[in-house]
């Protein structure tokens, strides 16, 4: 447990770690499929669209997108047509549309998270919140890097984060009161 937690938090500069936190398992596939559903596209156009949707300077790598497209093709969720030489053009299939329909709740959750992320990153009012979130991640990384954590320390850290979450949820905007 300690090793998993350490690996997740300590690898801030590791791009794949960042992606795994941004996109839960299967979410990148859903996002790519949703983009293709809106309009058939080339791989580069999908990468640009995801960057626009996520915001904050995020751009998925070709090493993420093209294996995802290959998987979606293997699952018969998309069709691939070669155009303009070797360029591949992706379109959604009927089974891909059905899959998206089945995943409606997951998609709503994903787009909600992305919207919240964009709001925090693009709204200067939220800069203090974003800074505080980064401070929390840094404090956790330092604890994990500089200390051997036993069960008691792990419990104390989790309890502190849980208490902060409860306090935040109790804060009421004066306009809401």
Residues 111 and 146 in one domain: no
Distances (CA, A) of 139 to 15, 59, 143, 146, 148: 20, 27, 6, 11, 14
Final residue before a domain boundary, out of 122, 140, 157: 122
HSE on the CB side for 26, CA within 13 Å?
6
Q: Is the Cβ–Cβ distance between 155 and 1 less than 8 Å?
A: no
Whether residue 54 has pLDDT greater than 60 = yes
Total Cβ atoms within 10 A of residue 148: 7
Backbone phi and psi for residue 25, each to the nearest 5 degrees, phi listed first: -50, 125
Q: Which domain holds residue 60?
A: 15-122
Q: Please give the pLDDT value at position 19.
A: 37
Q: Is the Cβ–Cβ distance between 70 and 64 less than 8 Å?
A: no
Neighbour order of strands in the sheet with 41-42: 41-42, 87-92, 78-83
Q: Is residue 23 part of a domain?
A: yes
Residues 79 and 29 in one domain: yes
Tell me, what CATH number does 97's domain have?
1.10.10.10
Q: Please give the pLDDT value at position 84.
A: 75
What is the tens place of the pLDDT at every residue in 111-170? 888 888 777 776 777 778 878 888 998 988 888 887 778 888 889 989 999 999 898 888
Model pTM above 0.75: no
Residues 103 and 34 in one domain: yes
Q: Is residue 9 part of a domain?
A: no
Q: Is residue 177 part of a domain?
A: no
Residues 25 and 101 in one domain: yes
Domain tally for the chain?
Answer: 2
Helices marked H in the chain: 2-10, 15-22, 27-38, 43-54, 62-74, 94-102, 104-122, 127-146, 151-170
Which CB contacts under 8 angstroms, 24+ apart, belong to 38-47?
40/89, 40/90, 40/91, 40/92, 41/89, 41/90, 42/83, 42/87, 42/88, 42/89, 42/90, 43/69, 43/88, 43/90, 46/90
Tokens for 98, please give them: 């059905």
Residues 63 and 140 in one domain: no
Least confident of 55-59, 67-71, 160-164: 55-59
What is the tens place of the pLDDT at every residue in 20-44? 356 777 888 999 999 999 988 999 9
């Amino acid at each position: 447990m300690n090793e998993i937690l350490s690996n997740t938090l300590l690898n801030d500069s590791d791009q794949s770690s960042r992606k795994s936190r941004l996109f839960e398992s299967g979410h990148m596939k859903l996002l790519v499929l949703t983009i293709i559903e809106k309009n058939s596209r080339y791989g580069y156009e999908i990468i640009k669209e995801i960057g626009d949707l996520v915001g904050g300077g995020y751009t998925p790598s070709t090493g993420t997108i093209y294996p995802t497209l290959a998987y979606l093709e293997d699952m018969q969720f998309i069709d691939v047509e070669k155009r303009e030489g070797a360029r591949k053009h992706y379109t959604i299939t009927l089974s891909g549309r059905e899959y998206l329909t089945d995943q409606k709740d997951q998609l709503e959750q994903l787009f909600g998270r992305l919207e919240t992320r964009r709001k925090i990153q693009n709204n200067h009012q939220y800069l203090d919140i974003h800074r505080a979130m980064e401070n929390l991640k840094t404090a956790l990384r330092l604890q994990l890097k500089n200390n051997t954590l036993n069960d008691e320390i792990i419990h104390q850290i989790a309890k502190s984060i849980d208490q902060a979450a409860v306090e935040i949820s109790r804060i009421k905007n004066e306009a809401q009161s």
